[in-house]
Structure 1
Amino acid sequence: MQFLRFPRPLLLALAGLLATAPILAQAPAPTPAVAVAAPAIQPSALPDDIVASKNVMLPMRDGVRLATDIYRPTVRGVATAGRFPVILVRGPYNKDADVAAAKIFVPRGYIVISQDVRGRYRSEGRWRPIADDPNDGFDTAKWIGDQLWSDQSIGTIGSSYNAATQHALAIAGAPHVKAMIPRNAMSNFGLYGVRHHGAFELRWLNWVLTLGNATGTPDALPAATRAAADPLAAPALVTLGEHVQAYARNLPLRAGTTPLKFAPDYEAWLIEAMSHGAYDDFWKNSGSSVVDHLAEYKDIPVYHVTGWYDSWGTSVANLNFVELTKAKKSLQRLIVGPWIHSSEHLTYAGEAQFTPDAALDRAAFELRWFDRWLKGIDNGV
């Protein structure tokens, strides 16, 4: 197999261009403690300088509670006193995986908070993709700012859906959010995401039928059990993704005709998304479109990240980055590398092999950004 080789990662000639972009500037009482379902993750899973509170159930404005993990600095097993900036991750793909972020940020003087979005894994409520994330993100950020360990500075990280929740936070004007790094985020679900200028993208049929990528993973059964109206139906949902091609040949999808009927939230969203061909209010809500809500979008520094081979690379660069640069005073930056979706750690894309420095050192990159905007360290950003 002959591999292509490139002299430098295309981590963007924009780097030089953006280096010239102007950098413009810009203790309430704590809320009552909430229930902790499991007091701490198993000690063997974390280094000695991190302590975790697992599955803290944060109440939203409508009473629904979202499962939240809190990772804090510790000295000899006791949480370190004082106030710290917070790194927030909100997503549908099981918050337990975000222990990796905790191991990066907590030793550097941050608190990391990871949350299952409404209706996913251990969180209560109905799952309606992105629709509830503006309000839920706002309520979560407000709660964080009210805690005695918070210095009221929040930064956000995450890719794909976990990047869309960041944009939802900014559009909602969430308090205390001061900087973000959304990676590979859609700009507009109706025109350049779930649908493409009206045409439904069939990969979303696959995404929902696999319960948001659960099928074939160790998390498949927990995701299916949480989604199922009847827990006994979970095994049918786990194997649903194995038959995507058969269901795709028999579109349109009708309610109650597949095992997805056991996961009514998923079925309802998929049928609705497939029925809205016109660019209507369903696609213009504050969770589904950045460009329709530029005026409301919080004026904070945002570092947009995407790949040349990511299907949303064009809209991240030409819509999210360009339009927010026009609309806001705070620094907007963009990095585009030779990556497919959410694969900044790789040095290849398909059969194209790049040089070793094609991989993004995401830990160093994100720490530097948040050290600047959350801690005020003059590090040249």
Structure 2
Amino acid sequence: MTTYTTAVHGLATDVRLPDGTGPFPAVLVRTPYDRRAHHAELDGWARRGFAAVAQDVRGRHGSAGEWRPYAHEAADGADTARWIRRQPWSDGRLVASGASYAAHCALTLALDAPEDARPDAVIAAVPALGAADTAREPSGVERLLTRAGWWAAHGDRPDSDDDALDKALAADPDALTHLPLRDLPRRLGRELPSWPEMWQRDDRGRLIARAARAGMPLLAVGGHHDHFAEDTVELWRHWGGPCARLLMGPWGHGLVAAPGPDAEPAHRVRLGDLYARWTHRVLAGRLTRGRAGAVALGGSPLWTAADREGEPYAPRLRPLRGAAFTAHPERPVSSAELTVPVDGEPDRCVLATAPLPRPLDLLGPARVRLRARAGTPSADWFARLVALAPDGRAERLAVGAVRRHDQPPGETAEFTVPLGRLARRLPAGTRLRLEITGHHFPAHARNPHTGEDPITATRLTPSAREVDPARLELRLSVLRTRPVPTDPAEEILR
């Protein structure tokens, strides 16, 4: 193999060429996380016959310019794609690939760049679709912890400090509690001009909307435990190219390197090999048109077809406590702690099912429908679904959030809290616990309940809540028959 480093319009770029005379199809990875961390990945692509290119995005690591997250990726990616296609080792075919922010780089090249620069196919793993998409839930609730961690580690700096937020919290455990949240950079001890800019973005869903007009194939890869899981599925569902494939396993943001508690040995997938095989087939025009893919059923060794979905099922819930509770932002319900207090003033409404008489296979969307009221002009409603194993272990299955500020204080309303898509086998004896809360901190910012923006608010007030347990419904998607197993590679490559 041949390796060299060059600068493409000031952007540090590593190139790994296969043995042989070429020309070759190329794979491009543009990343803010240091192109040198991708050398093993480049080796893998080159061994399989691809010219592999990794590039630091503008202003990061070896690249010149100013780093502004999500600002320049379409233009810089287009310049790089044109440069690749002009090289003597390139046969003109190009695949854009990446995970997390690098998936955003690949997608914006495919969807925003001029026609002559667009890739022939896209591999997008755990895609961070855009600043607005990563910052908030669809209802507008702010994702605080993940965004604070990412911006502390990578924002507005040429390199990274992955432990920056942990160090700040060690020095001041209340760093995420102090108001206003807009001033978090000052508590981190550094300038972060893009931090307040992120919260002002209002273009959530832009890339999903553009995906309908995509003209090339897509491979979307995600994890059930990844905070971008829903975005991964929606990207696949809306993709307008000739074919789209989805692979969803019981993994976190690091995919197979971050297996969830429900991962089985059968869920170990050699992603690098699968990516290369998919790329060879798609560039040769040997993939079936349309949408297909595979979804792992966590807690079992099974994979099932991505378009398979269970039937509606509403388990019977018994109210335990907190039909009336206070959502107090000074004492918010913890997103990290699954223990439920049994005495004192309730801070949440808690309901539970009886133990399951037999295993239950959940596959498809879940939601909570409730009738409730809040005594404040703005209120967040969180629904947290927890599995309680027969041995007493508690595991979070799903969390959903809705922000209500169209409901007069004290007025009762019916509304739905979506919980996302579940793919999980629950063993017999499992109980389901459902919590309805007003906060889920620090994963999500605290609603001050005053109608003010949670990022700029400087005062907090308690919010009295009341839930009607008789009008509350948990709706799951359940397989009534044994799931039909499939091979994930066969589904991706067919």
TM-score, with length taken from structure 1: 0.67
Specify whether residues 256 and 373 from structure 1 end up closer, same or farther in structure 2 by C-alpha distance, changes over 3 A only.
Answer: closer
Of 153, 173, 176, 1:248 maps to: 176
C-alpha distance in structure 2 between counterparts of 1:260 and 1:369, whole Å: 45
Q: CA deviation at 1:103?
A: 1.8
C-alpha distance in structure 1 between counterparts of 2:241 and 2:96, whole Å: 19
Of 156, 162, 168, 2:102 maps to: 162
C-alpha distance in structure 2 between counterparts of 1:255 and 1:337, whole Å: 34
C-alpha distance in structure 2 between counterparts of 1:251 and 1:87, whole Å: 45
Q: Is the 8 A contact 2:223 2:229 kept in 1?
A: yes
Gapped runs of 5+ residues in structure 1? 1-49, 60-64, 75-79, 213-222, 228-233, 277-281
C-alpha distance in structure 1 between counterparts of 2:130 and 2:198, whole Å: 13
Q: What amino acid maps onto 1:194 in structure 2? A: A
Specify whether residues 260 and 131 from structure 1 end up closer, same or farther in structure 2 by C-alpha distance, changes over 3 A only.
Answer: farther
Q: CA deviation at 1:239?
A: 5.3
Specify whether residues 373 and 256 from structure 1 end up closer, same or farther in structure 2 by C-alpha distance, changes over 3 A only.
Answer: closer
1:194 aligns with 2:111: no
Q: What amino acid maps onto 1:254 in structure 2? A: D
Q: Is the 8 A contact 2:8 2:80 kept in 1?
A: yes
Report the counterpart of residue 62 of structure 1 in structure 2: none
Report the counterpart of residue 11 of structure 2 in structure 1: 66
Deviations 1:68-104 (A, max 9, x none): 1011124xxxxx4331100110111111011111221
SS at match of 2:251: coil
SS at match of 1:272: helix
Of 306, 315, 320, 2:235 maps to: 320
Q: What amino acid maps onto 1:308 in structure 2? A: H
C-alpha distance in structure 2 between counterparts of 1:68 and 1:128, whole Å: 19
1:49-198 mapped onto 2 (5 Å cutoff): 50-54=1-5, 56-59=6-9, 65-74=10-19, 80-173=20-113, 175=117, 177-187=119-129, 189-190=131-132, 192-196=133-137, 197-198=139-140
C-alpha distance in structure 1 between counterparts of 2:202 and 2:27, whole Å: 29
Identical-pair percentage: 26
Report the counterpart of residue 194 of structure 2 in structure 1: 269
1:15-26 mapped onto 2 (5 Å cutoff): none
Specify whether residues 208 and 241 from structure 1 end up closer, same or farther in structure 2 by C-alpha distance, changes over 3 A only.
Answer: farther
> Relative CO higher for 1 or 2, CA cutoff 8 Å, sep ≥ 6?
1
Q: What amino acid maps onto 2:222 in structure 1? A: T
Deviations 1:164-192 (A, max 9, x none): 111111112452511111011134642x4
SS at match of 1:299: coil
1:290 aligns with 2:207: yes
Q: Is the 8 A contact 1:134 1:168 kept in 2?
A: yes
Q: Is the 8 A contact 2:42 2:54 kept in 1?
A: no
Question: Which structure has the larger Rg?
Answer: 2
C-alpha distance in structure 2 between counterparts of 1:254 and 1:345, whole Å: 34
Q: What amino acid maps onto 1:358 in structure 2? A: H
C-alpha distance in structure 2 between counterparts of 1:329 and 1:95, whole Å: 29
C-alpha distance in structure 1 between counterparts of 2:76 and 2:266, whole Å: 38
Report the counterpart of residue 330 of structure 1 in structure 2: 242
Of 165, 186, 189, 1:257 maps to: 186
Report the counterpart of residue 417 of structure 2 in structure 1: none
Q: Is the 8 A contact 1:187 1:320 kept in 2?
A: no
Q: Is the 8 A contact 2:126 2:253 kept in 1?
A: yes
C-alpha distance in structure 1 between counterparts of 2:16 and 2:165, whole Å: 35
Q: Is the 8 A contact 1:306 1:316 kept in 2?
A: yes
SS at match of 2:154: coil
C-alpha distance in structure 2 between counterparts of 1:260 and 1:365, whole Å: 43
Report the counterpart of residue 299 of structure 1 in structure 2: 215
C-alpha distance in structure 1 between counterparts of 2:128 and 2:186, whole Å: 30
Of 274, 279, 283, 1:374 maps to: 283
- What RMSD in Å do the two structures reach over aligned CA positions? 2.8
| Structure 1 or 2: more helix by fraction | 1
1:343 aligns with 2:343: no
Report the counterpart of residue 210 of structure 1 in structure 2: 153
SS at match of 2:252: coil
C-alpha distance in structure 1 between counterparts of 2:185 and 2:37, whole Å: 33
Deviations 1:88-122 (A, max 9, x none): 10111111011111221112211100001111111
C-alpha distance in structure 1 between counterparts of 2:186 and 2:118, whole Å: 45
Deviations 1:124-156 (A, max 9, x none): 111111221111111111111111111111112
SS at match of 1:128: coil
| Structure 1 or 2: more strand by fraction | 2
SS at match of 1:88: strand
Q: CA deviation at 1:256?
A: 7.4
Q: Is the 8 A contact 2:225 2:253 kept in 1?
A: yes
